[in-house]
């Protein structure tokens, strides 16, 4: 695999002074699934997907299923047996192959694998052909166990669209310790990533603006490198007590200003996110989570 990093990633790596570390970590990126990753996927019940809607907006959503719903078909292909509700912001059609980023994460053991490639629907399954496969470190993952006492299906009972955050949604985000972010590269490839910190690490500046820190990571800067060139992004916040989800689509910019950084202990940079559209999905049954054990890496 050549040219692992695009110009946006390389630019952020250079400004952060982490080019050497990025080059070392590039060795973990593959275009194939190892036996270890295939085994890990067999036991998973949760994943996060980033892609675009028909209008070209970036959204991030989640997928759930019984253990084994994510299956490695061959060295570069995944089959995902899941149903995406009609109300979900991401729709995968049979006639269209679209770029997608997937992160399969087990928060109970703090393990995550990222898969970037293209996806399409085939009958009741999603097929994802991988271009990039790699693991990330356990940093900032709050330890939680999924409790699916009523099965793994998703049943949407109501939805609410908007162009800004309600007071209740602002409070939700202010109290969050985890969110997921989807971004797109200059060539249209998608990426899904995890972000975590102590409750309050995401600052709601107003009903249309969020500010969140970028802590030390793997030095690759996949997310920030994408945002430097393509600001479109989608955020996903989960309500771990009632299975509801908040999806936010908009544009983001990297902030290097020290006046902003002092808001966040341990941050090297931060990101300002401007909200264009919101979608809250209210669900019943299915997904519940245990109480969280905060990551020891949280600043």
Reply yes or no on whether the pLDDT at 42 is more than 90. Answer: yes
Residue 27 has a pLDDT of 94
58: exposed, middle or buried (Cβ count in 10 Å: 0-12, 13-18, 19+): buried
Residues 154-170: tens digit of each pLDDT? 788 899 999 999 999 99
List CB contacts of 150: < 8 A, sequence separation 6 or more: 285, 286
List CB contacts of 88: < 8 A, sequence separation 6 or more: 61, 156, 281
Residue 84 has a pLDDT of 87
281: exposed, middle or buried (Cβ count in 10 Å: 0-12, 13-18, 19+): buried
295, part of any domain:
no
In contact, 153 and 283? CB cutoff 8 Å: no
Percentage, residues of the chain above pLDDT 90: 83
Q: Domain range holding 192?
A: 7-289
Confidence of residue 149 (pLDDT cuts 50, 70, 90): low
107 phi, psi to nearest 5 deg: -70, -20
The CATH number of whichever domain residue 146 belongs to comes to 2.30.110.10
Task: Enter the DSSP assignment of 219.
Answer: S
In contact, 250 and 188? CB cutoff 8 Å: no
Confidence of residue 265 (pLDDT cuts 50, 70, 90): very high
58, part of any domain:
yes
Reply yes or no on whether the pLDDT at 126 is more than 80. Answer: yes
296, part of any domain:
no
How many domains are contained in the chain? 1
Question: How far is residue 178's CA from residue 163's CA, in Å, rounded to a whole number?
Answer: 22
Residues 195-229: tens digit of each pLDDT? 999 999 999 999 999 999 999 999 999 999 999 99
In the predicted model, what is the mean pLDDT of residues 171-175?
A: 98
In contact, 169 and 176? CB cutoff 8 Å: no
List CB contacts of 256: < 8 A, sequence separation 6 or more: 15, 269
> Minimum mean pLDDT among 90-94, 133-137, 256-260, 279-283: which range?
90-94
Question: How far is residue 70's CA from residue 284's CA, in Å, rounded to a whole number?
Answer: 23
Residue 147 has a pLDDT of 83
Question: How far is residue 94's CA from residue 96's CA, in Å, rounded to a whole number?
Answer: 6
Query: CA 90, 229, 162, 197 torsion: positive or negative?
Result: positive
Question: How far is residue 202's CA from residue 253's CA, in Å, rounded to a whole number?
Answer: 15
2, part of any domain:
no
298, part of any domain:
no
172, part of any domain:
yes
95, part of any domain:
yes
More confident residue, 91 or 12: 12
299, part of any domain:
no
In contact, 195 and 247? CB cutoff 8 Å: no
292: exposed, middle or buried (Cβ count in 10 Å: 0-12, 13-18, 19+): middle
């Amino acid at each position: 695999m050549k040219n692992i990093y695009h110009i946006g990633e390389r630019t952020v790596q250079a400004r952060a002074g982490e080019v050497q570390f990025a080059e070392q970590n590039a060795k973990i990126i593959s275009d194939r699934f190892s036996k270890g990753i295939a085994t890990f996927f067999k036991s998973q019940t949760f994943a996060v997907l980033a892609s675009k809607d028909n209008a070209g907006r970036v959204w991030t959503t989640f997928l759930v299923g019984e253990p084994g719903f994510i299956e490695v078909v061959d060295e570069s292909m995944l089959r995902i047996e899941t149903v995406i509700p009609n109300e979900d912001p991401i729709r995968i059609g049979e006639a269209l192959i679209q770029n997608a980023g997937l992160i399969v994460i087990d928060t109970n053991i703090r393990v995550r694998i990222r898969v970037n490639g293209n996806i399409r629907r085939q009958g009741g399954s999603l097929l994802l052909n991988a271009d990039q496969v790699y693991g990330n470190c356990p940093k900032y993952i709050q330890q939680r166990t999924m409790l699916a006492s009523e099965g793994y299906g998703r049943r949407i009972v109501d939805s609410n669209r908007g162009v800004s955050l309600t007071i209740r949604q602002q409070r939700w985000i202010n109290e969050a310790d985890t969110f997921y972010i989807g971004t797109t590269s200059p060539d249209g490839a998608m990426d899904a990533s995890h972000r975590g910190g102590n409750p309050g690490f995401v600052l709601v500046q107003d009903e249309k603006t969020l500010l969140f820190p970028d802590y030390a990571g793997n030095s690759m800067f996949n997310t920030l490198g994408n945002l430097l060139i393509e600001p479109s992004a989608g955020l996903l916040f989960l309500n771990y007590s009632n299975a509801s989800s908040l999806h936010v689509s908009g544009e983001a910019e990297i902030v290097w200003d020290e006046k902003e950084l002092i808001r966040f202990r341990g941050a090297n940079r931060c990101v300002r996110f401007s909200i264009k559209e919101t979608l809250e999905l209210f669900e019943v049954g299915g997904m519940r989570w245990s109480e969280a054990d905060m990551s020891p890496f949280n600043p």
